Amino acid sequence: MIDKAKTNAKLGVDVAELMREKGIETPMVDGVVPSIDELEVLYTKVHQSLGIDLEDDSIQDTPRRIAKLQVNESMKGLDYKNFPKMTTVENKFYDGMVSVNDMLIMSMCEHHWERIVMRVSIAYVPRKGGKVVGLSKFSRLADFFGSRPIVQERYTQQLFEALKYIMDTDDVAVHVRGIHLCMFARGVKEPCSSTTTTCLGGDFNVDMATRKEFMDGINIALPILPQ
């Protein structure tokens, strides 16, 4: 179950409008509220169409398990009422870059609904008197946008623009390296490739030392890749 105490629906509305203005919103139909009961019916039909015996005691509750998983976890990012609380405070003493590296985010390819395993790194440069945010908030934000069907390029831009808006600064960087199981486990069956996407703003774009500090801090090795 989603902890509403850790969400900010009003901020979610603002960020949703920003995503639409920037042309990077996930394709969604307005006004649709995901329903566990409706999804249970649909997943029951899927199992029946595949010839899976829902009378078996191991499987009989699976359609509802999947429905609850989608609404409360895998697809919670489709509902901006679940947008994470991103409380900011004034930066009174720090002068330098802040980065949170190698956050492991699980998402889903919007083309095949195969899993994407991503290692996400985020950084920003707070100014004196500017805004800072608790470190765990970066992980919650990365998870929110990952909890929906994605393409990695759009996902990276969504994180980038949301952070710029919330932190009120252009000095933001986002780096994502993903393993796409739609390539890894099906189709071309390419187990050794990864996909990298990067968005850089402000100082990260024009100051090579700042960019290098960020890029040098990224652990580019993924645990499921051969070492």
Can 112 be counted among the known catalytic residues? yes
The active-site residue out of 157, 158, 180, 199 is 180
Question: Is 180 one of the catalytic residues?
Answer: yes
Catalytic residue among 47, 73, 182, 213: 182
* 182 given a catalytic annotation: yes
Choose the catalytic residue: 109, 158, 161, 199: 109
Residue 220 pLDDT: 55
Tell me if residue 111 is catalytic.
yes
Q: Where in the chain is the domain with CATH 1.10.286.10?
A: 4-82
199 is catalytic: no
Architecture label for domain 4-82: Orthogonal Bundle (1.10)
Q: What are phi and psi of 109, to 5 degrees?
A: -70, 130
Q: Which long-range contacts (CB under 8 A, 24 or more apart) does 66-71 make?
A: 66/39, 67/36, 67/37, 67/38, 67/39, 67/40, 67/43, 68/36, 70/34, 70/39, 71/34, 71/35, 71/36, 71/39
Instruction: Tell me which of 70, 152, 157, 158 is the catalytic residue.
Output: 152
CATH topology of domain 88-216: GTP Cyclohydrolase I, domain 2 (3.30.1130)
- The full 3-state SS of 144-174, as one line of letters, equals HHHCCEECHHHHHHHHHHHHHHHHCCCCEEE
Active-site residue identified among 60, 90, 111, 153: 111
**pLDDT > 80? residue 196:** yes
Catalytic-labelled residue, pool 25, 73, 112, 213: 112
Q: Which residue has the tokens 């829902």?
A: 54
Which pTM value belongs to this model?
0.91
Nearest residue to 178 (alpha-carbon basis) of 221, 118, 219:
118
pLDDT, tens digit (0-9, with 9 covering 90-100), for 10-69: 999 999 999 999 999 999 998 888 899 999 999 999 999 999 999 999 999 999 999 999
Q: Rounded to whole angstroms, how far apart are CA atoms 169 and 107?
A: 27
In the annotation, is 158 catalytic? no
Say what the pLDDT of residue 182 is.
84
| Nearest Cα to Cα of residue 77 among 12, 19, 18, 147 | 147
Confidence tier at 226 by pLDDT (50, 70, 90):
very low
Q: Provide the pLDDT confidence category of residue 190 given band limits of 50, 70 and 90.
A: confident
- Residue ranges, comma separated, of all CATH 3.30.1130.10 domains in the chain are 88-216
